[in-house]
């Protein structure tokens, strides 16, 4: 590994909605958004092309709402709108750092964002803009993890960086089991066979079929995005055998 040269030149960063809130409070914590923006600004200086898929769980969780009686499709659409709120917050924060961005949505919202068009998205990346992809796939019953896998494949990203609050993938929840084993590397098939819950099976299957590695890492430690891009051994990498 050359510490001065990134091993990934075009990345798809998957940010869960919880990345934007403090603890379990929900909503948007401006300090958290500023932290993420500064981390992105750091790697932007390295010439990395960055696409971001955002979740909306800090605003609204469709799955939880459906359990309480809201129609599943309606609940999922409501969650998609939450991702757009997060996307606009991140865009505002990045542009305050003089970073050019574009928000694209899978559900058309002409007043606030571009519609997602693959060729246009690639052109933005080539023009050194960060693209923020909101509203998931635009369809209910699909997670934002699946949206991340789909967009990474479409945009020919070198890898998906899955940002979490823990430092990788464990055999069980490390917040509940202090002795849980951490995987430094795991194959797509083993991930599926072990029924690990960090990403859903549909997203991992898409990555496996298209040979897109996934790196799961702790977003909360400053500099971790850069370390992943430089190939430093942090987090867990999920890839083919």
Q: What is the pLDDT of residues 211-225, one digit of tens each?
A: 999 999 999 999 999
Q: What is the pLDDT of residue 32?
A: 96
Q: What is the pLDDT of residues 74-109, one digit of tens each?
A: 999 999 999 999 999 999 999 999 999 999 999 999
Close Cβ partners of 38 (under 8 Å, ≥ 6 residues apart): 97
Collect contacts of 17-21 with beta carbons under 8 A, ≥24 apart: 17/54, 17/55, 17/56, 17/57, 17/58, 17/59, 17/82, 17/83, 17/86, 18/55, 18/57, 18/58, 18/165, 19/55, 19/58, 19/163, 19/219, 20/58, 20/86, 20/89, 20/90, 21/58
Q: What is the pLDDT of residue 178?
A: 85
Residue 26 pLDDT level (bands cut at 50, 70, 90): confident
Q: How far apart are CA 101 and CA 63, in angstroms?
A: 30
Close Cβ partners of 22 (under 8 Å, ≥ 6 residues apart): 29, 31, 32
Half-sphere exposure of 149 (CA within 13 A, CB side): 22
Tell me the chain's radius of gyration from C-alpha atoms.
17
DSSP 182-221: EESEEEHHHHHHTT--SS-HHHHHHHHHHT--EEEEETTS
Q: Strand pairing partners for 160? A: 12, 214
Residue 3 pLDDT level (bands cut at 50, 70, 90): low
- Considering the domain 10-239 in this protein, what is its CATH number? 3.40.1160.10
Q: How far apart are CA 158 and CA 213, in angstroms?
A: 8
Q: What is the pLDDT of residues 41-60, one digit of tens each?
A: 999 999 999 999 999 999 98
The first and second tokens of residue 137, run together, are: 């796939």
Tell me how long the chain is: 241
**Domains in the chain: boundaries:** 10-239
Q: Single out the residue of 199, 25, 51, 67 nearest to residue 133, CA to CA.
A: 51
């Amino acid at each position: 590994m050359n510490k001065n040269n990134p091993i990934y030149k075009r990345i798809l960063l998957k940010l869960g909605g919880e990345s934007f809130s403090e603890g379990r409070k929900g909503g948007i914590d401006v300090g958290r958004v500023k932290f993420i923006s500064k981390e992105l600004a750091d790697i932007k200086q390295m010439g990395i092309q960055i696409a971001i898929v955002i979740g909306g769980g800090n605003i609204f969780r469709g799955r939880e709402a459906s359990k309480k009686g809201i129609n599943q499709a309606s609940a999922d659409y409501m969650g998609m709108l939450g991702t757009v709120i997060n996307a606009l917050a991140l865009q505002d924060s990045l542009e305050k750092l003089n970073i050019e961005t574009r928000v694209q949505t899978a559900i058309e919202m002409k007043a606030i964002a571009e519609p997602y068009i693959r060729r246009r998205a690639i052109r933005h990346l080539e023009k050194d803009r960060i693209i923020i992809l909101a509203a998931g796939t635009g369809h209910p019953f699909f997670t934002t993890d699946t949206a991340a896998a789909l967009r990474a494949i479409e945009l020919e990203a070198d890898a998906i960086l899955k940002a979490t609050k823990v430092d990788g993938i464990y055999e069980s929840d490390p917040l509940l089991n202090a002795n849980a084993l951490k995987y430094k590397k795991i194959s797509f098939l083993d991930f599926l066979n072990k029924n690990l819950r960090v990403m859903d099976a549909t997203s991992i299957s898409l990555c496996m079929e298209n040979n897109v590695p996934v790196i799961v890492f702790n977003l909360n430690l400053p500099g971790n995005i850069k370390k992943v891009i430089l190939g430093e051994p942090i987090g867990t990498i999920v890839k083919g055998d």
